[in-house]
Amino acid sequence: MTHTPANKTVLISGASVAGPALALQLHRHGFTPTVVESAPELRTGGYKVDIRGTAVEVCRRLGILDEIRAASTDMSGGSYVDAKGRTVGQMPAEIFGGRAEQDDEIMRGDLARILYERTREDVEYLFGDSIAALHDDGDGVDVTFESGARRRFDLVVGADGMHSNTRRLVFGDERRFRRYLGAYISIFTGPNRLGLTRWETYHARPDKLVSVYSTAGEQAHTAKNCFVFAAPGELSYDHRDPDAQKRLLADAFAGDDWEIPRLIADAAGADDFYFDAIALIEMDRWSSGRVVLLGDAAHCASPASGQGTGLALTGAYVLAGELAAAHGDHRTAFAEYERVMRPGVELNQRFAAGFAKEMTVSSRWKIALRMLMVRTLPRTPWKNLIAKKIRDDIQRAAHAVPLKEYETAPVSPATACVPR
Ligand SMILES: Cc1cc2nc3c(=O)[nH]c(=O)nc-3n(C[C@H](O)[C@H](O)[C@H](O)COP(=O)(O)OP(=O)(O)OC[C@H]3O[C@@H](n4cnc5c(N)ncnc54)[C@H](O)[C@@H]3O)c2cc1C
């Protein structure tokens, strides 16, 4: 067995949640991460994401929990309104979110910013670039970037989301791994037309759900407009073309009343427009040689799970910890990372596949039934039992990945030992 410095240089593709969280923890373990992000700067925008269960403990260990608490959405509740804007029923945030005491909620963009600020001094970030080609020769990975630069890294991690470029280059076409769950989601910032403060307003139509919310951190004059619509088959569009996506969104909601026409029109001026299919990424394995996938790139659980961000954070913590525990031996570390993560990921994906069907309802009478439930639930004697059942299911999924303790002692070249 030859003793060599372990696999210290790690290229991470994607600077959203999973990538910077991994970089933070790898740096603490003594590795040298570099993050490449195709966007010219850190991307803002996105919806509010839950930090629940295991992810709360992960954030504590990453040292970012206090900042998450400070940037909490701090929502107080939500209400359903009818087409005339009349409140049909309302519920406090805990029932909506299935949250336990420690859990929190933060805007995705705020979380990405916290992680980036924590790492930017210690980690090399390459914005506005992307991996064009990579070649794993068994001893390292030669990477050619879109910019034309060429570099060699010990390991490469694809943390580049549901439409992962790294996955495509190493494992093949995304369509082999994507399971469409029958709906699309769009979200963007617009004027606070409904005058909301820490409140979410929902309006359901057959096969569609619109919600508008303003969180504690939102500027007083802005709100988030969120649209979900069912579509039996996948739509054909370029996921890098926001104008095409805005047209698809407008078509899907054409002719709808309530505030919908004005809310849709706000998309034109939004610089944080997000649009994507609600879909899972399901793969038999997450690594190949010296390349491994993380977060949505490996196992997107979709917004229907409410756990995609938590799984991305947990996966980053586990992957970095396993690399350190194995003194950089990627074969051992990648296998253990997958063994620890996979059962929890699969539970959350099953949960998402079930819940995706309930995000929208298909007819007016089913909407009327749902509104009746929303209206009567706060007054029923079983209110607490129902809330507990919702919370227990969500909490089981949120605690599904067991968390080990990993020492953050740096990997030193003297002690590192990689079988070759
Ligand atoms: C701007 C934005 C808004 C989002 N909004 C929502 C939302 O409203 N609802 C929802 O369910 N999920 C949303 N997501 C996805 C959500 O963040 C993830 O489900 C979850 O947090 C897991 O994060 P991730 O880091 O694994 O992947 P992601 O958050 O998807 O991050 C992937 C990162 O990789 C970057 N990237 C992509 N291609 C390349 C490439 N070729 N080279 C380098 N970098 C690349 C992306 O720009 C992004 O920064 C959003 C993601 C982004 C980036």
- Tell me, yes or no, whether 175 lies in a domain: yes
* Digit-coded pLDDT (tens) for 334-356: 999 999 999 999 999 998 998 88
Instruction: Reply yes or no on whether the pLDDT at 373 is more than 70.
Output: yes
User: How high is the pLDDT of residue 418?
Assistant: 39
User: How high is the pLDDT of residue 4?
Assistant: 42
What spacing in Å lies between the alpha carbon of 327 and ligand 1's midpoint?
Answer: 30
> 34 falls in which pLDDT band (50, 70, 90)?
very high
User: How high is the pLDDT of residue 77?
Assistant: 87
- Please state, for a pLDDT cut of 70, what percent of the chain lies above it: 94
- Tell me, yes or no, whether 333 lies in a domain: yes
| Nearest ligand 1 atom to alpha carbon 187 | 8
Least confident of 3-7, 127-131, 340-344, 388-392: 3-7
* Digit-coded pLDDT (tens) for 244-263: 999 999 999 999 999 999 99
Supply φ then ψ for residue 280, to 5 degrees: -105, 155
CA nearest ligand 1 atom 13, residue? 46
Least confident of 225-229, 352-356, 377-381, 403-407: 377-381
Range of the domain at 146: 9-362+393-398
* Digit-coded pLDDT (tens) for 287-316: 999 999 999 999 999 988 888 999 999 999
| Nearest ligand 1 atom to alpha carbon 311 | 22
User: How high is the pLDDT of residue 217?
Assistant: 81
Number of domains the chain is built from:
1
CA nearest ligand 1 atom 22, residue? 309
Q: Which residues line ligand 1 (CB under 6 A)?
A: 13-19, 36-39, 43, 45-47, 49, 108, 130, 159-161, 165, 185, 187, 274, 295-296, 303, 308-309, 312
- Tell me, yes or no, whether 403 lies in a domain: no
- Tell me, yes or no, whether 376 lies in a domain: no
User: Which of 134, 278, 296 to mutate for ligand 1's pocket (most ligand atoms within 8 Å of CB)?
Assistant: 296
- Tell me, yes or no, whether 408 lies in a domain: no
What spacing in Å lies between the alpha carbon of 355 and ligand 1's midpoint?
Answer: 21
Average pLDDT over residues 381-409: 82
- Tell me, yes or no, whether 151 lies in a domain: yes
User: What's the CATH code of the domain at 228?
Assistant: 3.50.50.60
Instruction: Reply yes or no on whether the pLDDT at 412 is more than 80.
Output: no
Rounding to the nearest 10 degrees, give the CA dihedral for residues 395, 397, 398, 400: 120
> 89 falls in which pLDDT band (50, 70, 90)?
confident
| Nearest ligand 1 atom to alpha carbon 42 | 49
* Digit-coded pLDDT (tens) for 149-161: 999 999 999 999 9
- Tell me, yes or no, whether 373 lies in a domain: no
- Tell me, yes or no, whether 195 lies in a domain: yes
Look over the chain and give the mean of its residue pLDDT values, rounded to a whole number: 90
| Nearest ligand 1 atom to alpha carbon 44 | 1
Instruction: Reply yes or no on whether the pLDDT at 192 is more than 80.
Output: yes
What spacing in Å lies between the alpha carbon of 161 and ligand 1's midpoint?
Answer: 5
